A and B are shown apart, each in its own frame.
Chain A
Amino acid sequence: MGLEGHPTATAPRREAPVADAVPGLPLPALRRGSAPALLTQADITAEIEAEHAVSAGLRARGLAVPATRNDFAPYRSSILRHPTKDPVQADPEAVELLAPVFGERDVHALEADLTATGAGEPVGERIVVTGRVVDGEGRPVRRQLVEVWQANAAGRYAHRRDQHPAPLDPNFTGVGRCLTDDDGTYRFTTIKPGPYPWNNHRNAWRPAHIHFSLFGTQFTQRLITQMYFPGDPLFALDPIYQSTTDPVDRELLVARYDHDVTQHEWCTGYRWDIVLTGTHRTRLEEPAEPGEEHA
């Protein structure tokens, strides 16, 4: 695979050539891979490895690669939805340097307990997930909104579009919210979600995960991501998890079991800390390009 498919990575701070985007011409991504029904896990795994080699090669040459690559064809739904041009470097303006304010009137304390929404206890392994939200300098993100959503213990979302033939749980919707405290700490009580199948390719399964939505102190820090559980055997197979191409970055998406969070005869505990620093690229002595900041 040539580097032409990765203008973001090969030409930092510059606009990519527009040839790829001419209407009527097939986009290069469309020529990659084949239809989902024909794809095996082995095909996708090979594609993931090839994309990782591309990322690693760019990093080895000191070029910037986004931590999570939007242009990541093993995740088939991304092919027509990733920008082909470089993001434009922009100094944030005053509005972007602040974030929306959320408060006690926005979030009820009970919303942090996902096991408390039904008349009875949901089925599954009760867990607490907690951690701190901090900025790049380690300062707590205080009194800020954290939203989560997840599948139930059987791997089924309480969403009309989820067709997985696993049982819904009348006592579990899998939606929660909380505000961080003055130390940046959030805390949810929930049920460990199950893995679930999806139609990216034949026999595709997502590792168990909880979706997290986060606000920082600046709007540019806005983040939606997924938290995973340690040691999941599906990690290597999952094109979404693997779209974060550096293993050090992928590790940041995995909670750790914490026996100090685990509660006697009640639930097990996981800790997952979150660092918000806005749009990020790994920078390795990138030369300054005066006058091209907005190119």
Chain B
Amino acid sequence: MSTAAARPTPGQTVGPFFGYALPYAGDAHLVPPASPGALWLHGSVFDGLGAPVTDALLEVWQAGPDGRVPRASGSLRRDGATFTGFGRCASDGEGGYGFWTREPAAVGPSARFVAVTVFARGLLHRLLTRAYLPPRDAAEQAALQRDRLLGGLPPERARTLLATREDDGSVRFDVRLQGEGETVFLEHDPPRTP
């Protein structure tokens, strides 16, 4: 039965009242906070006037340091040991968010990145983007330079996808929904059936 693909269910805004429903204990702690080898991936969300977006919800999905995509359950009930690769964080009163996670390794030919989904009141349909991790060596630098998404973007647009290393070793990734430095958001066609 392969006729025309079914029409997808449209998105609708997450609205203002997700705060008591979607966040959960340990949602942003893919690993225990400040545990050995933990990465603090953090940033802020801004609107078209540069004001912080205090009612956004970010989700991350990523490979582990071994370059494998996690297939373990347990994101909603963290056991402190299993790396599930998924996290969720509501932005705070200053538009900030942060995840305790691990440095992902690259999977396949692309440079290493964390997949990021953005929801917010006022945002009618969710946005998808990628936070590319700063290179730790020449090989990772080269992977960034030949990444097929980054390579197809004007440099000033590609820059919006590059997370930056802070002095304290953490990694910063800001999301700008609109205006100067507007983050590149992605669209992926549904996979075609042969």
Q: CA of A220 to CA of B153 in the docked complex: distance in angstroms?
A: 20
Q: Which residues of A contact B63 (CB under 8 A)?
A: 94-95
Judge if A197 is at the interface, Cβ distance under 8 Å. no
Nearest-CB residue, chain A, relative to B193: A137
Q: B80 in the interface, Cβ–Cβ < 8 Å? A: no
Chain B residues lying within 8 Å of A29, measured Cβ to Cβ, are: 48
B136 at the interface (CB under 8 A from A): no
- The stretch from A34-42, A52-60, A121-129, A157-165 touching chain B is A157-165
Q: Does A182 contact B (CB under 8 A)?
A: no
B55 nearest CB neighbor, chain A only? A161
Give CA–CA (A177, B51) in the complex, Å. Answer: 33
Of B2, B10, B108, which one neighbours A93 at CB under 8 angstroms? B108
B89 within 8 A of A: no
Which residues of A lie under 8 Å from residue B108 when comparing CB positions?
Answer: 93-94
* CB-CB under 8 A for A101 and B72, given A21-B178, A87-B187: yes
58-105 of chain A: CB within 8 A of chain B: 66-70, 72, 75, 77-85, 87-96, 98-105
CB contact list, B1-52 vs A, under 8 A: 1-2, 5-22, 47-51
Kindly identify which residue among A81, A276, A279 contacts B53, using a CB–CB cutoff of 8 Å.
Answer: A81
**B21 lies within 8 A of A225 (CB):** no
Q: Which chain B residue has the least Cβ–Cβ distance from A24?
A: B180
B interface: dominant SS? loop
Q: A89-B187, A96-B115 are in contact. Are A224 and B73 (CB under 8 A)?
A: no
Cross-chain contact of B75 among A72, A100, A278 (Cβ < 8 A)? A100
- Is A15 located at the chain interface by the 8 A CB criterion? yes
Binds B, one of A184-192, A243-251, A256-264: A243-251
A137 to B192: give the CA distance in the assembly, Å: 10
The CA-CA distance from A66 to B187 in the complex, in Å, is: 11
Contact A149 B185 (CB under 8 A): no
The verdict on B85 contacting chain A, using a C-beta distance below 8 Å, is yes
Q: Are B76 and A82 touching (Cβ within 8 A)?
A: no
Q: Decide yes or no: A240 and B12 within 8 Å by CB, A101-B70, A157-B17 being known contacts.
A: yes
A89 CA to B13 CA in the complex, in Å?
Answer: 22
B85 to A, closest residue via Cβ: A100
Q: Take A75-B13, A213-B22, A223-B126 as given contacts and tell me if A90 and B186 are in contact as well, using a CB distance cutoff of 8 Å.
A: yes
State A38–B17 Cα separation when bound (angstroms).
Answer: 25
**In the complex, what distance in Å separates the CA atom of A26 from the CA atom of B59?**
31
**Which of B15, B115, B157, B185 has the most A CB atoms < 10 Å from its CB?**
B15
Q: Is the CB of B7 within 8 A of A249?
A: yes
A227-256 vs B, Cβ < 8 Å mask (1 yes, 0 no): 000000000000011011000111011000
Interface hits, B50-85 → A, CB 8 Å: 50-51, 53, 59, 61-63, 69-77, 84-85
Q: Shortest beta-carbon distance, B192 to chain A, in Å?
A: 10
* Other-chain residue from A137, A161, A244, A281 in contact with B17 (beta carbon distance below 8 A): A161
Complex CA–CA separation, A279 to B108 (angstroms) = 23
A81-B48, A87-B187, A101-B73 are known contacts. Are A294 and B84 too (CB-CB below 8 A)? no
> Which residue of chain A has its CB nearest to the CB of B63?
A95
A173 interface contact, C-beta 8 A: yes
Of A27, A101, A277, which contacts B178 at CB under 8 A?
A: A27
- The smallest C-beta distance from B190 to any residue of chain A, in angstroms, reads 4
Q: Is A23 an interface residue (CB 8 A)?
A: yes
Q: In the complex, A219 Cα to B51 Cα: how many Å?
A: 29
Q: Is the CB of A175 within 8 A of B20?
A: yes
Interface status of A1 (Cβ within 8 A of chain B): no
Query: A147 → chain B, closest Cβ, in Å?
Result: 6
Question: In the bound complex, what is the Cα–Cα distance between A103 and B75 (angstroms)?
Answer: 9
**Does any Cβ of A come within 8 Å of B142's Cβ?**
no
Answer whether A67 and B75 are a contact pair too, CB < 8 Å, given A83-B177, A95-B107: no
Tell me whether A295 is interfacial, beta carbon within 8 Å: yes
4 A-B pairs closest in CB distance: A294-B152, A103-B73, A77-B122, A149-B21
25 contacts between A and B (CB under 8 A): A23-B180, A69-B124, A79-B122, A80-B178, A83-B177, A84-B48, A84-B178, A88-B186, A93-B110, A96-B61, A101-B70, A103-B73, A160-B20, A177-B76, A218-B191, A241-B12, A243-B124, A244-B10, A249-B7, A275-B8, A275-B9, A278-B191, A279-B128, A280-B8, A293-B152
Using A23-B179, A295-B152 as known contacts, list a sample of 20 further A-B pairs with CB atoms less than 8 Å apart, ordered by residue number in A: A21-B179, A21-B182, A67-B8, A68-B12, A80-B47, A82-B177, A82-B178, A94-B63, A106-B77, A107-B76, A138-B1, A157-B17, A177-B76, A219-B117, A224-B126, A275-B8, A275-B9, A277-B5, A277-B8, A278-B189
